[in-house]
Homo-oligomer: A and B are copies of this chain.
């Protein structure tokens, strides 16, 4: 299908709202900001950021985003309709939504008569008024509205007439998108297909190809239909696809399918299914190449182990075992692969002999401004070193500063600012006291001098960090500007308990730039320490590079 004629599907990411409902997932405001910018880069047109009326942290998030706005995407706050028998304009929740300062807002309301009567304890008519007033009020305040019809499919099955009334009310009030939600996740594709067809026929915009973008051009009098599904029957992706084939034009989902209970529709599967299998257009080809990296980036930021067996983006998604199979796949990949892994930024893996891609290394070097030749022995040396380290548990996807240092070492360009000779840490839990003290002693060689320093901290890593900074401060005063902005620890092979290998990621900053370094060790302290040391070293490298550039 040629690109110009592919019908467009509008993606709506709710990782930062519905995704964070996943049990065990919690994110800071900084995490949310990083993810939002990454999704923007991936080309997601709508990004749901949170529910400022219900969560004070989300208010902060929208404010901070105003200072450092997204490039392309529309950031959208989420909120319920007003409460029964109140004025929309008096509703503090809605004031919080307006204060988020966005162009678009998403309002969810009840579709299922049972929920209106038992949950809201109000009348069916009042629920319609709540939908109408809320949308009209937000439009009067200059907002454009997406309406999420909660429990749509269950509601429709119980009382189709009332369910249709709710979305007709939303449409009449001016909502531009009507999103049908399978909130409990129990609906099967043939039901989705049938019910979405009815809605599209009765109220939806049936234009085959959108000639106007529903983001940039205000407002068709006929709303478009969207779909929001959950995975409780392992059908979230299939249901979203069924809805699109029945005429829906917006798909809501989350990166890696994160979400409450069994999760939401997984955008990492939906996007390639829509784009590579069904010929719809969602994001650019180039952005699709970032899919695997984005999936892993998000899992790193929320500190959940990536699912190796995830479709399209998992580490095993294109893994091949066995000799004949492998040579067949190398002769003609389509015999054993449903797509080319590179289309989604993943790669084929031969399980017996781990094969890291030379092109990956070349591409990464290029992002650091280093042009490598693939026939250069140095390039092969870097690849080998990277593979060795990856098999020990290093992962350079989220630690580009460490990868840069590795590359400089291999090219003989690594500048040695200092060398840690050894350290000693003491931790005590003193009888009767609740907190422990940590004392670190460190020996560092700088410019031929051996420096011995000691410092305390409220943990062994903090004590080591303080001692190292103290030792280096006289030589490199700019270290005072560096700060550790994030620090994450992941236990690899978790089922070996406290003896397992540890991977530490440290993010450092100097006020203008941020960079991430990695350490891996069976010792949690040493893994953390490696990353801290490389973080300081890379900061110095950036400093002296900038100084050199200024002199030129």
Contacts and interface: CB of A to CB of B under 8 A. Distances in A.
Contact of A234 (B114, B237, B432, B489): B237
Interface in A302-325: 303, 305, 308-312, 314, 316-319, 321, 324
B494 A338 contact: no
B485 A525 contact: no
A492 B245 CA distance: 43
Given A321-B260, A423-B429, A525-B436, A494 B500 contact: no
A488 interface: yes
Contact of A305 (B184, B332, B495, B522): B495
A179 B459 CA distance: 51
Nearest to A187: B338
A22 interface: yes
Interface stretch (A86-94, A101-109, A262-270, A361-369): A262-270
Interface residues of A, number: 121
Given A186-B277, A521-B435, A526-B435, A308 B23 contact: yes
A471 to B, nearest CB: 14
Contacts of A227: none
Interface stretch (A24-32, A201-209, A286-294, A378-386): A24-32
A458 interface: yes
Contacts of A436: 521, 523, 525-526
Contacts of A318: 261
Interface in A423-481: 423-432, 435-436, 438, 443, 457-462, 465
A370 interface: no
Contacts of A492: 28
A415 interface: no
Nearest to A272: B233
Interface in A93-145: 112, 114-115, 118-119
B423 A261 contact: no
A429 B435 contact: no
Interface string A5-32: 0000000000000000111101010110
Please provide the 6 A-B residue pairs with the shortest distance between their CB atoms, ordered closest to farther: A186-B338, A484-B497, A238-B238, A486-B494, A234-B269, A459-B523
Interface of A: 21-24, 26, 28, 30-31, 112, 114-115, 118-119, 151, 183-186, 188-190, 231-235, 237-238, 241-242, 245, 260-263, 266, 269, 272-273, 277-278, 303, 305, 308-312, 314, 316-319, 321, 324, 328, 331-332, 335-339, 351, 395, 397-398, 420-432, 435-436, 438, 443, 457-462, 465, 483-500, 502, 506-507, 521-526, 528-529, 532
